[in-house]
Amino acid sequence: MGALHVVGEPTRVITSFQPPQAKTSGHGHGPVVEEIHGLIRVYKDGHVERLPAIPDVPATWGSTAPGSGGVAVARDVVVDRATGVWARLYAPTTTTATGGGAAARLPVVVYFHGGGFCVGSAAWSCYHEFLAQLAARAGCAVVSVDYRLAPEHRLPAAFDDGLAALRWLRHQAAAAVTTAADDLAWWRARCRFDRVFLAGDSAGASVAFHVAARLGQGYLGPLGPLSVRGAVLIQPFFGGEARTASEKTMAQPPRSALTLPTSDCYWRLALPAANNAAAGRDHPWCNPVSRGAPRLETLPLPPLLVCVAETDILRDRNLELCRALRKAGKGVDQAVYGGVGHAFQVLHNSHLSQPRTQEMLAHIRAFVTARS
């Protein structure tokens, strides 16, 4: 996620990517060496400054506020005390899940936010509202993970935090079996832990992909009583040294959420520092179809739904990934949303954003329902 403009949030307009200017900060950190205008500045001494592009909101805000007649309830929990990683939990206030009734158990979606691995939060208002809608429309419980960010925590930190979230969820599943009475019992009672789905948008979709692969490779050992039934990749943020046609030619408006210079900057900040002079954007964590990446045929991946935005610079790379996965024998559904760009479902920066978001939520519900 790069340049941002959020409808309904005045004074939060973020212009397109600007190259970093070699100027002294005035705070003793030296010149700016990397910058995505309005989002993040990195100084020569390693100091990182993140700008308030989108406001953080509490779990009891908007459509989850008590007494608001909202569509979901939410609360925040720590999932890994060693790293400080936390998550926001959602459950719909009512459900049409199989079995019906407010007490019906629901599939669980573990969600990772976007932001190029460098910005973003589970507390951002745009993600809070989107995931409350996802819980309500798709009929699922949601774990929205606030993973550690680069460049302070370069990859694979986000992947490690994704695994930590699954480890925490496995603990919750075990607690549900013993009917432990604590302040999360209400949420566990809504969950079908044998129906887990990984999901995310942009960089978060990349996290979901790599976490799915690592789970399949046994990084956490036996998952039971958890069972991962699928993964939803929304405009997955991948790259490569060779440019795709959409990266080279897809014109982006001033309010675009992702431009090519912004994308490159994120990868410079997120990939291991020693990598940048070696594999570059063909590092397997950036380009899963590169020669140096594990063969897709060998990756034990669950069924995938890949959601593609038609005017996103990542469009062709997303479609290339779908083709490569199918060639490798993986189960892949794809959906292309016409007339909208990167992160349309959270930024609402197009007149088509709302109807396309509703289409996406319907596709996610159908994908989850078919595998639950």
Between CA 347 and CA 4 the distance in angstroms is 7
The label of the residue with tokens 């014109």 reads 251
Report residue 274: phi and psi, to 5°: -70, -15
Query: ∠ CA(231), CA(233), CA(234), 5° rounding?
Result: 145
Angle (CA) 220-211-173 rounded to 5° is 50
pLDDT of 15:
30
Q: Map residue 132 onto helix, strand or coil.
A: helix
- pLDDT at residue 278, as a whole number: 66
- For the cut 80, the answer to whether the pLDDT of residue 314 exceeds it is yes
- In tens, the pLDDT along 84-136 reads 999 999 999 875 544 444 458 999 999 999 999 999 999 999 999 999 999 99
Q: What is the pLDDT of residues 326-368, one digit of tens each?
A: 999 999 999 999 999 999 999 998 999 999 999 999 999 999 9
Strand, helix or coil for residue 280: helix
Q: How confident is the model at residue 180 (pLDDT cuts 50, 70, 90)?
A: low
Distances in Å between the Cα of 117 and the Cα atoms of 263, 272, 301 are: 11, 12, 22
AA identity, residue 276 = N
Q: What is the DSSP letter of 34?
A: E
In this structure, what are the phi and psi dihedrals at residue 273, rounded to the nearest 5 degrees? -60, -40
The structure's pTM equals 0.91
Q: Output the pLDDT for position 344.
A: 97
Instruction: Return the active site residues.
Output: 202, 312, 342
Q: Summarize pLDDT for 191-204 with one digit per residue, the tens.
A: 999 999 999 999 99
Q: What residues contact residue 254 under an 8 Å CB cut-off, 6+ apart?
A: 3, 15, 16
Query: Which pair of structure tokens corresponds to residue 138?
Result: 């798709």
